[in-house]
Structure 1
Amino acid sequence: MARIAIDLTPYNDSVHLLDFPDLAARLGYEYLQLTPNPDFGRHFHRPKVDSAMIAQLRKRAADAGVTITSVQPVQRFGGPDPRDVEIAVFNAARYIEVAAMLGAPVINTEFSGRPEREEESEYSFYRAMEQLLPVAEREGVTLNFDPHPDDFVEDGLEAWRILRGLNSDRVGFVYVAAHTFHLGDRAATLLPEVGDRLGAVFAADTFDHRRSHGLRYITNPPGSAARVHQHLRIGDGDVDWQELFGTLRSTGYLDRDDALIVSNVFAEDEHADEVSRFQLAKIRELIG
């Protein structure tokens, strides 16, 4: 049965990292994904936890009855500048060690890089993985990647091809529902192709930026390359949730013991408790 975890990013400014397991339990969750947080580690930085803090966090999680499933650092694996890649590898190697020490041997992350420098970025990504995959193998950690809007690869199928090219079972795919319309809006055909290499699904809604003749959002100056999406609660956007979960069911993902669905709504911090509980109930309904 799929595990439902929560991303507690909306609480970063008000709740200490060590209190996250208690908060997750209070909101009704049995599982927790650790994401960029001032005490844990920020985007593009090295993790800030030491062995003592990791031990405290593991104890707090055990006491709360909450399992830490995964961590989500964001690093510039796709560069494309060599110095960016060097920093990303240096930081990510430590994140891999931290994930193993936490007993949460899954890293869900992004490709990064620049879409206007796609060839250089792909090269940077492969070189970064050449260095990091031996570390992941040694520590028993899996690396799953999300083609995030504004990464060097945004299309879901092309992202899967790039991951397949690594030829490693330590690598998987993250399907982020809030990125549906940048991914190509084809969960029904993409997810069967990814198959058992689907490592995680992130559950938040978004609007289809392509609608209304591309004028769903108006950005200035006209023709801006900005990528717009939201992380709304399920039902507040345009994602076809019946199609997504129907596909997850037909591919067998929902029956996997290691299946992970992460609620990651960021748009309503002022109602975070209410939204978190709503998300849990809605995801359970979609699974059921």
Structure 2
Amino acid sequence: MVRIALDPTPYNDSVHLLDFPELVARLGYEHLQLTPNPDFGRHFHYPKLDDAMIAELKKRAKDAGVTITSILPVQRISWPDEPQREAAVRNMRRYIEVAAELGVPMINTEFSGRPEREEESEAGFYRSMDELLPVLEREGITLNIDPHPDDFVEDGLEAWRIIRGLNSRQVGFVYVASHTFHYGDRATTLLPEIGDRLGAVYTADSFDHNRSHGLRYISNPPGNTVRIHQHSAIGDGDVDWQELFGVLAKTGYLDRDDALIVSNVFGEDERADEVSKYQVQKIRELIDKARA
């Protein structure tokens, strides 16, 4: 049974971490992905939960009938400079422990290197994984990675090659639909190659920045290195959802008991409840249609 989880980022300023399970249940979800939050841990910072908060969060989730499927810490594990990379490894090691204490089998993250220092970032990634793989194996946690726009690797196929090079089934791939056009818009060929190493799929829409001769978006000065994408509601962008879910069905992902699809719309905070309810309904429709 495919699990559909909510990324509660739009509620970070209005809902306490411990109230997230009740929130997602009210919005029609049975699953929750914990993402950077002041009480959980911000981007690039050490996690802020202690044993008491972890125990209370587990209790709140159980009371709400919600499963915490995964956590999403963002750490500079591929950073080309050693102080930041070493801090990221220390932080990630603690996040792995937190995941184990929460009974969460999956961590989803990003490479978090620098595109202008690609070679050094890749080397930093492998150094970090030399340290983290034994911890992941000991705790039984799977780490899935997204090649985020403005990372040292953005192309989906090249990112899969880097993950594959680790030669470890403890590490897999996160396919973020709103990053499709930075990946190379290659879902039909990339996802079959990743196969059962696909750990999670995120569902939000985005416009194709390559259209209109690369002038879909104009930023000045011309030729600067900004990356632009959205995390909009399904149907509000250019992602081919029928194609994506068709490939997920064809590759068997939708039949996996551990399949995870996360709604992560970030650009609609003023109507977050409405969009969150729409997303879970739309994801279910896409799953049913792809299976049919």
Q: TM-score range by the shorter chain?
A: over 0.9
CA deviation vs aligned residue, 1:87-107 (integer Å, no higher than 9, x gap) = 110000000000011111210
CA distance in 2, matches of 1:223, 1:52: 50
How do 1:5-84 residues align onto structure 2 when only pairs under 5 Å count? 5-84=5-84
CA distance in 2, matches of 1:198, 1:77: 20
Letter in 1 for 2:174: V
How do 1:62-211 residues align onto structure 2 when only pairs under 5 Å count? 62-211=62-211
Structure 1: runs of 5 or more not aligned: none
CA deviation vs aligned residue, 1:69-126 (integer Å, no higher than 9, x gap) = 0000000111111111101100000000000111112100000111111100000000
TM-score when normalising by structure 2? 0.98
CA distance in 2, matches of 1:219, 1:134: 44
Q: Spell out structure 1 runs of 4+ moving beyond 4 A.
A: none
CA distance in 2, matches of 1:276, 1:270: 12
* Cα distance, 1:26 vs structure 2: 0.2
CA distance in 2, matches of 1:222, 1:18: 45
Letter in 1 for 2:286: L
CA distance in 2, matches of 1:46, 1:159: 26
CA distance in 2, matches of 1:224, 1:255: 43
* Cα distance, 1:57 vs structure 2: 0.2
The percentage of counterpart residues that share the same residue type is 78
Letter in 2 for 1:29: Y
Q: Tell me the matched-pair count.
A: 288
Letter in 2 for 1:173: F
3-state SS of paired residue (1:150): coil
How do 1:231-246 residues align onto structure 2 when only pairs under 5 Å count? 231-246=231-246
CA deviation vs aligned residue, 1:30-81 (integer Å, no higher than 9, x gap) = 0000000000000000100001100000000000000000000000111111
* Cα distance, 1:224 vs structure 2: 1.0
TM-score when normalising by structure 1? 1.00
CA distance in 2, matches of 1:171, 1:115: 22
CA distance in 2, matches of 1:283, 1:4: 8
How do 1:244-263 residues align onto structure 2 when only pairs under 5 Å count? 244-263=244-263
3-state SS of paired residue (1:262): strand
3-state SS of paired residue (2:230): coil
1:4 correspondence with 2:1: no
Letter in 2 for 1:34: L
* 75-84 vs 275-284, which moves further: 75-84
Letter in 2 for 1:180: T
3-state SS of paired residue (2:112): coil
* Cα distance, 1:205 vs structure 2: 0.2
1:212 correspondence with 2:212: yes
